[in-house]
A and B are shown apart, each in its own frame.
Chain A
Amino acid sequence: MKAIVALEDGTVFEGTSFGAEGEVIGEVIFNTQVVGFQEILTDPAYSNQLVCLGYPHIGNVGINDRSNESSSTHVSALIVKEYSKIYSNWQAKESFGDFMKKNNVIGIEGIDTRALTVHIRENGEMRGIVSTKAFSKDNLIKKIKANQDSAVPLLGINSNSAKSVGSSKTVIINLGVNNTTLAKYPGAKKVPYNTNAEKILANKPEQVVISSGPGDPRKLTGLIEEVKKLIGKVPIYGIQNGACILAEALGCDVYKMKVGHHGVNLPVVDPKTGRGEISVQNHSFGIKDVAKGVKIVHVNLNDKTIEKIQSKDGSCVGTLYSPIDERGKLEKNYRRV
């Protein structure tokens, strides 16, 4: 069945659909990784995004029980070059297409995803629409323009399969936490993004984690205010958008990047020593300037953007990448992608 991707600047790509049918508007981003596609489908931080995958073959190994980042899908649509007609892996339970149909995620294949990637690289991330129903370019672009506000995502309402027993002394402020983060904090208590500081502190946490999540973190002004109240009272670790919230609370300047970081091959290094790690990232917002006293711990080696900050006393740490294990101590079941 015919399907179409239209960008708000008028660029249109035609393909055919796999997965669910329908129409969806979102932010078009590209991702260059060669594995980890089930994770993209199910990571809440990808919600409201139309993800363009540069790597051509998608769905080769099907869907398995171990790769989910949450209990459902969050991405709005997958834009791919070639959807695999079969899947083959001993752990596979079903095909990408079936899984996406069940979870109402639109898939479009036959797209020159490299061309779309280059377009985004040159023109910046922008809003777009994927449709399997209507193909008039003008109408589609009108729809995008009429829907600017959907940039504010639904937050903190995602259910997550990982159990929250509460024995741990970690409280996670849930902006869309994924299983990778939950696996790092077994038994952490999750609280919604609009929980106030007093309530959080009432748990007597040893640390507070602000999870990754979708959307524009600058718009969560209420949360930023609450985090300000937490600073100095408890160690805080912010991940990706969570780091942006923390940065704002520390008085730093958060901005929308022209092209975000979405991939698994991004080098983050200590600017003084050049020592670092290859990291997994998914964020469209960055930290422009740090406030006085806030230290830049890691920068992106390639574009020199800030990737990790730390408050003067060391109690607040934010990373724009997924948490990384210490060198040489990679845990067996810790997913990197």
Chain B
Amino acid sequence: MPKRTDIKKILIISSGPIVIGQACEFDYSGSQACKSLREEGYETVLVNSNPATIMTDPGMADRTYIEPLEPEFIEKIIAKEKPDALLPTLGGQTGLNMGFFLSRAGILKKYGVELIGADADSIQRAEDRQKFKDTMASIGLAVPESGTATSVEDGLALAEKIGFPIILRPAFTMGGAGGSCAYNIDELKAGLELALDVSPFHQVLVEKSVLGWKEVEFEVIRDCKDNVIIVTSMENIDPMGVHTGDSIVVAPAQTLTTEEFVDLENWCKKIIRAVGINGGGTNIQFAVNPEDGKIVIIEINPRVSRSSALASKATGFPIAHVAAKLAVGLSLDEIVNQVTGKTYTFFEPTVDYCVFKVCRFTFEKFPEANPILSTSMKAVGEAMSIGRNYKESLQKGIRSLEYRRFGLGADGRDVPEAISGDKELVKQKLIYPNADRIFWVRYAIKIGMTNQEIFDCSKMDPWFVNQMREIVDVENEVVKHSLADLPDQLLLKAKGVGFSDIQIAHLTKSDEVAVYNHRKEKGIMPVYKLVDTCGGEFDPMKPYFYSTYDKGGDECRATDKKKVMVLGGGPNRIGQGIEFDYCCCHASFALKEEGYEAIMVNSNPETVSTDFDTSDRLYFEPLTREDVLHIVEREKPMGVIVQFGGQTPLNIAHQLEAAGVPILGTSVDSIDCSEDRKRFKTLLKKLNLTQPANDTATSFSEAKKVADKIGYPVVVRPSYVLGGRAMRIVYDESDLEEYMNKAVIASPDKPILVDKFLEDAIEIDVDCVSDGTESMVCGIMEHIEEAGIHSGDSACSLPTFSISKAMLKELKEASYALAKELKVKGLMNIQYAIKGTQLYVLEVNPRASRTIPYVSKATGIPWANIATKAMLGKSLKELGAKEFVPEHFSVKEAVFPFNRFPGTDAILGPEMKSTGEVMGIDSDFGIAYMKAQIAAGQKIPLEGKVFISVNDRDKRRIVGIAKRLASLGYEIISTNGTAGVLRKNGVEVESVAKLGEGRPDVLDLIKSNKVQLLINTPGDKRTKIDETKIRSGAIIHMIPIVTTLAGARATMSGLEAAKKKGFKVKALQDYHK
């Protein structure tokens, strides 16, 4: 079918900030969609609130809006752009829900916009729990016994009929958000309340649990001619009961008979036809009873999803690219498979390797949260690995996670008590799914448990367990040898089942470098094979590569052209995510522009950098010393870029340099100088720059001495950490004692750093670029929150809004001086604090920062591209780069995963907790701030009741804010302390009881939606428990919450401006004309 000519302009709604359940896979799919539609000659309009994405680069879509993903804003964009169609299936659940909502609300009809990719009826058949059930029943497919509830009472009644355990699945949510598993009435009640709250349509499916069944997923695509293909199957190692986003997944499915497999495939075809998708894809999840093969359908996602991104990367089949074309009426037989270059997309991809997806968790950041995995997704990132067998792929996957685990145990990091013979402990760890369960399978094997016993506890298929047993068998052989007497055959076998050099070094009491050199001498090196979509049937034009230890058969396609290698950032985690992928992609684009081949190495399947056409050659490999060195030895690049992939490449930069790998840009020594406390101190002294008073300590008594000298409060943290891990602000000696004794283990080589904490200082971020001689400021950002909140968690504005000209000049001068002294070639980020008129340097990172994409969007200048070219030797002058301060304000706000970790406190501190970011942009600072808040999910009301409760330090200063609120017509509610201060200052306040001092208390107000905004700054230890309850209550009930005075002030400016002027939308292309 030829593509449609009746539509010309298409609006794509993307997924917004990175949150748990919706990560950069939608940057990948959205970018693909833009490219794909523009290839076909359509005009594209893109809206996304996330500035860190590649897709929001001005070149990706014709018109790009960085605006909140709220109906009010989308309608404004539609009114302005007048698109012919809206494509809702490429922007995750957010995009799909928005498309559905706009359609149901009549907004699309009003402006004559057609929903393409999936129509509203199809979306409803897939997402509405009752309609879905009916649709499945109509084709004769079993669903777990269930019912739909719209109230707690409904839910309880249903549960009585169905029986425990019960799974709760809120309608129209993603990543299992708000879902839970209930074993009793109490859990059920709590679960129902949460689920009903979270579902945008207040609907929840109450479902019989099929805990322990096999979980199998398929990706299915159908075109307008009714051609259907199955892209791939995937099987979860963790069976039903663990959210698929938290499960270790293997592709293709490994434990199904042909009949089971074909039955499921046939169901897939029936389902996609019954739901009515006729120009797109869907993800379908089944549960299969391991006892008798019985099949039930769990759910489907009629859109591009996290799983479809994984399926794309696992097979090479670009689902998003194809789905976009199908949405405009093309059919599978008309679209060329770009990887083979000679086949069509009407062809089921096949593989001749095993793919693993492993998940990265972050429980250490949320110590109060329950670390058990369940039906609500908690993973913040994932890595994908490819090997020619299950064992190799699994071990590569584990080492890709960068947890400092280097395979399935045997890496010197095992838990000693696990193999001491406490079978009960091991059993418990197998029964209750947790982030480390895979290692406990190994311990179970080690202490002699059988496949059946391990299956009985974990329900992991015995075939999976035995594969792990085979890994342990090889371990048991290797450990008998020293490196010198390790037989070559055994070494090859160990590498063939995925053992890393670090594991082999541990087992043979050698070291990593020695193992590598030994192997190289013996010729035990990997070969490279292809991801080609077809299992070798065709000679592909644009495959990508993975390493394996097969006998010969090397298909490496290294050329002798001039080339540069870019090391990516690996799996997403808090502190390192899409921002770094943005920089890596730009490095690749810039390299190509300069006539170099770009070689990308990364392990994250969600990213644009692992798209097959981002670089000239992509290696889907772990970012460890050996894996990177192997590629370097084959490709022999003229340089390797390590400064764009966050901490990941920097962690191995030393080792690479020591192995003779040329590092491009700023030297490893300069990076070291900025991280080494002593060297950095000397450097600052030389440049006549000031840092907060500081020292190191290895014990409480030492720390006490330091704190006494520099004065409380102090910031304490361990050395060498990322994202402010275990960092704390300490106000008195008893806090300090607790921290030193409990929180961390200090040692002489890893002392605790004690810094003077600058109270009420303004924090500033500066990004700059340097060509080695000249440097330039990319952007100066003023934080909204005061110093002490991790820079990744605080909102900030570009340009600054309260900094004097003189201070701006001083900031620039200091930045140039630092860049010069550190001989920066490429990017550098500096964090400053300003207290009074004194400028302090807090931290310097001579590498790409988290803020580069945001600064690029705010200024309209591709800084990562410029930096790459500077690294290649071009001067900033040659590149025509210029500093630029825009007239409009771009405000960045962080987005937090607190709703995924019930019971955790929502306060901000020096330890980073956000997963993503959004940007608000407007000529007015207040409006830009409000847009950022709305985009971040803080729906700040323009009227209603505001609850204010602040700590003693803030009491005096809250008065002004409360007065302004009252004058805007808000009603103020406070607890006694704050209320007293406000009344004394003439603010009219309604009092409410503190927790435990009578009812209704503040929590009651929150639960009954009687308050629309909370301003609550954290007090001390005594008040912490109550405050945590209040703040987590607000999060569950989605009431906006402000936890700093600075945030409250910015909110005020926003409210005032919004009330006066209202919101307008404007495309990035119009800001940067």
Interface residues of chain A, those whose CB is within 8 Å of chain B, are 13-14, 30, 32-39, 54-57, 60-61, 64, 66-67, 81-82, 84-91, 112-115, 117-118, 121-122, 259, 263-267, 269, 273-278, 301-302, 327-328, 330, 332, 335-337
Contacts and interface: CB of A to CB of B under 8 A. Distances in A.
Contact of A115 (B1, B227, B349, B552): B552
Nearest to A327: B226
Contacts of A38: 258
Contacts of A273: 225
B259 A90 contact: no
Interface string B1-22: 1000000000000000000000
Nearest to A81: B388
B227 A36 contact: no
Interface string B772-785: 00000000000000
Contacts of B451: 86
A30 to B, nearest CB: 7
Contacts of B334: 274
B343 A302 contact: yes
Contacts of A276: 227, 333, 346
Nearest to A329: B270
Contacts of A332: 263, 266
13 contacts: A32-B536, A34-B233, A34-B351, A54-B535, A61-B255, A89-B255, A90-B292, A121-B538, A259-B537, A265-B347, A274-B334, A278-B346, A302-B343
Contacts of B333: 267, 269, 274-276, 301
A335 B461 contact: no
A336 B262 contact: yes
Given A56-B388, A66-B259, 12 more contacts: A35-B261, A55-B252, A55-B351, A57-B254, A81-B388, A88-B462, A112-B551, A114-B536, A118-B553, A278-B230, A278-B347, A328-B270
A269 B346 contact: yes
B70 interface: no
Given A82-B389, A265-B348, A265-B349, A112 B262 contact: no
Given A54-B536, A88-B463, A301-B333, A67 B293 contact: no
Nearest to B387: A56
A302 B344 contact: yes
Nearest to A89: B257
A302 B229 contact: no
A67 B258 contact: yes
B536 A30 contact: yes
B351 A88 contact: no
A44 to B, nearest CB: 17
B529 interface: yes
Contacts of B672: none
Interface in B456-480: 461-463, 466, 470
A301 B346 contact: yes
A328 B267 CA distance: 10
Nearest to B392: A56
Contact of B537 (A84, A263, A274): A263
Nearest to B274: A328
B352 A56 contact: yes
Contact of B553 (A57, A89, A114, A301): A114
Given A54-B536, A328-B273, A35 B350 contact: no
Interface string B336-371: 000000111011111111100000000000000000
Given A57-B254, A115-B553, A117-B352, A32 B535 contact: yes
B774 to A, nearest CB: 51
A-B pairs with lowest CB-CB distance, top 5: A115-B553, A32-B535, A265-B348, A54-B352, A274-B333
Contacts of B538: 121, 302
Given A85-B466, A301-B344, A67 B259 contact: yes
Nearest to A14: B551
Nearest to B551: A112
B552 A112 contact: yes
A260 B226 CA distance: 27
Given A60-B255, A267-B346, A302-B538, A88 B265 contact: no
A32 B534 contact: yes
Interface size, B (range): 35 or more
B1052 to A, nearest CB: 60
Contact of A330 (B261, B269, B536): B269
B639 interface: no
Contacts of B266: 330, 332, 336
Contacts of A35: 252, 256-258, 261-262
A178 to B, nearest CB: 13
B330 to A, nearest CB: 10
Contacts of A37: 258
Given A114-B550, A276-B227, A32 B257 contact: no
Nearest to A332: B263
B539 interface: yes
B108 to A, nearest CB: 30
Nearest to A59: B463
Contact of B389 (A81, A118, A278): A81
B265 A336 contact: yes
Contacts of A85: 466, 470
Contacts of B263: 332
B256 A33 contact: no
A115 B552 CA distance: 8
A273 B266 CA distance: 23
A289 B889 CA distance: 69
Interface string B290-301: 111100000000
Nearest to A15: B551
Most-contacted residue by chain A among B229, B258, B388, B539 (CB, 10 A): B258
B218 interface: no
Given A86-B466, A328-B273, A60 B254 contact: yes
Contacts of A66: 257, 259
A192 B551 CA distance: 45
A54 B352 CA distance: 5
Interface in B538-564: 538-539, 550-553, 555
Contacts of A54: 350, 352, 535-536
A259 B258 CA distance: 25
Contacts of B529: 114
Nearest to B139: A328
A90 B293 contact: yes
Contacts of B712: none
A122 B555 CA distance: 13
| Among B1, B255, B259, B462: residue with most chain A CB under 10 A | B259
B225 A57 contact: no
Nearest to B229: A278
Contact of B347 (A87, A114, A267, A275): A267
Contacts of A269: 227, 333, 346
A308 to B, nearest CB: 15
B312 interface: no
B331 interface: yes
A198 B107 CA distance: 72
A36 B259 CA distance: 8
Contacts of A112: 550-553
B389 A56 contact: yes
Contacts of B353: 56
B390 interface: yes
Contacts of B292: 90
Q: Which residue, of B463, B534, B537, has the highest number of chain A Cβ atoms within 10 A? A: B537
Contacts of B348: 264-265, 278
Nearest to A63: B257
A114 B354 CA distance: 13
B465 to A, nearest CB: 9
Nearest to B228: A278
Nearest to A331: B266
A263 B466 CA distance: 28
Contacts of A60: 254-255, 463
B547 to A, nearest CB: 13
B681 to A, nearest CB: 55
A332 B139 CA distance: 12
